Amino acid sequence: MKKIIGIGAIVALSVVAVVYVASASRSSATGSLDLNARESVLFIDGSGKVGQFSRTDPASGVVTDRSCLRAYTSAGTTVCMRSVAVPPSFEADVLGPDLAVRRVIKLDGTPSRARVSDSGNLVGWTVFREGDSYMAPGYFSTTSGIFDRRSGTLYGSMEDFTSFVDGVEHHAVDRNFWGVTFADDDRTFYVTLGSGAKTYLMRGDLADRTLRSVIENAECPSLSPDGTRVAYKKRFGDRWRLHVMDLASSRETALAEEAHMDDQAAWLDGSTIAYSRPVDGIPGIFTVPADGSGEPKLLRGNASSPAVIGG
């Protein structure tokens, strides 16, 4: 009798699980991406699907059936970082102008940031992991890599590059890198180095595989379209605030967003910055002027990972 109840309970639990999963599996695709559109934004919907909306009408747009955790696009090259079931892991899919997968890069960690150079030639990403034992428990390590589509070269980890902080080679094993952004020459890039309790904005060179510090306390850089300014988040205690620095003068400007945010910003144009931050526990895409004026505006709710399509 006891065994019959046991078997009955197991059958009932199986039914509950199957029914719940079946009811949660619905397709919500409303269209496909148009990478030739103008003034348009690629984003990831709250359902985890890639979508696209027009800057002039952000509430409308399409949601496709492609699942990504983080995505970015430029000049016909799109990167989609996603989870894979077997073996359970993550990968970065590099898509061509026809949105077909051209290259799959296996990732060692949960996707965090993604970027494509303006030319579409370079793809950069960041993943994070828990539990590398050189860290205090509960802290994270990150890895950033770059893929060069022209040569097929994979720079698997920035830890393989030689880092210089204030001109001195930096050897520490606790080096972590996150948030790659590319300059126009397809050789220079910027990335954050975290080591000890400090973070540095680093200028990298793909050709000689070096990284040199620019300033301290600047994370997840994002170069402006004209390459003269860099937007980043600056840490104050346990909060981050968006700042923009003019690279020629090193003058730093705090942007009008005062709420805590944790994202790699994207420039929608030369004067507007987009980023996501949670609103009532759900991520939404905001914009804020790049010169410190004005105030943040919610561009689209229940959305994240903004990237400009067609300037």
Structure tokens at 292: 């410190």
Binder among 181, 304, 307, 308 for another protein (CB under 8 A): 304
Asked if 156 interacts with another protein (CB under 8 A), we say yes
Asked if 209 interacts with another protein (CB under 8 A), we say no
Asked if 28 interacts with another protein (CB under 8 A), we say yes
For another protein (CB under 8 A), the number of binding residues is: 67
Asked if 197 interacts with another protein (CB under 8 A), we say no
- 186, 122 in Cβ contact below 8 A? yes
> Tokens 């700042």 map to which residue?
243
* Local structure of residue 184 (DSSP, 8 states): T
Binder among 2, 100, 152, 248 for another protein (CB under 8 A): 2
Asked if 10 interacts with another protein (CB under 8 A), we say yes
CA distance 184 to 226: 8
- With respect to another protein, which residue has the nearer C-beta, 86 or 100? 86
> Tokens 């197991």 map to which residue?
10
Asked if 152 interacts with another protein (CB under 8 A), we say no
Cβ neighbours for 299, distance < 8 A, ≥ 6 positions apart: 41, 55, 58, 274, 284, 285, 286, 287, 306
Asked if 139 interacts with another protein (CB under 8 A), we say yes
Asked if 98 interacts with another protein (CB under 8 A), we say no
Contact stretch for another protein (CB under 8 A) within 32-40, 116-124, 133-141, 207-215: 133-141
229-258 binders of another protein (CB under 8 A): 238, 240
Peptide linkage before 137 cis (omega within 30 of 0): no
Of 196, 184, 193, give the one whose Cα is nearest residue 214.
193
Asked if 135 interacts with another protein (CB under 8 A), we say yes
Q: What amino acid occupies position 174? A: D
CA distance 31 to 83: 22
Of 296, 230, 235, give the one whose Cα is nearest residue 266.
230
> What's the closest the beta carbon of residue 145 comes to another protein, in angstroms?
8
Binder among 96, 140, 148, 310 for another protein (CB under 8 A): 140
Asked if 9 interacts with another protein (CB under 8 A), we say yes
Q: Determine whether 231 is exposed, middle or buried from the number of CB atoms within 10 Å of its CB (0-12, 13-18, 19+).
A: buried
Structure tokens at 32: 């496909």
- With respect to another protein, which residue has the nearer C-beta, 183 or 242? 242
Phi-psi label, residue 290: left if phi above 0, alpha if psi -120 to 50, beta otherwise: alpha
> What's the closest the beta carbon of residue 64 comes to another protein, in angstroms?
11
Binder among 64, 110, 272, 287 for another protein (CB under 8 A): 110
- With respect to another protein, which residue has the nearer C-beta, 10 or 254? 10
Site string for another protein, 175-194 (x = CB under 8 A): --------------------
Q: Output the CA torsion 277→311→121→192 (10° steps).
A: -30
* Maximum Cα interatomic distance, the chain, rounded to a whole number of Å: 81
Contacts with another protein, residue ranges (CB under 8 A): 2-3, 5-6, 9-10, 13-14, 16-17, 20-21, 24-28, 47-49, 67, 69, 83-90, 105-108, 110, 112, 128, 130-140, 143, 145, 156-157, 172-174, 238, 240, 260, 262, 276-278, 280-283, 304
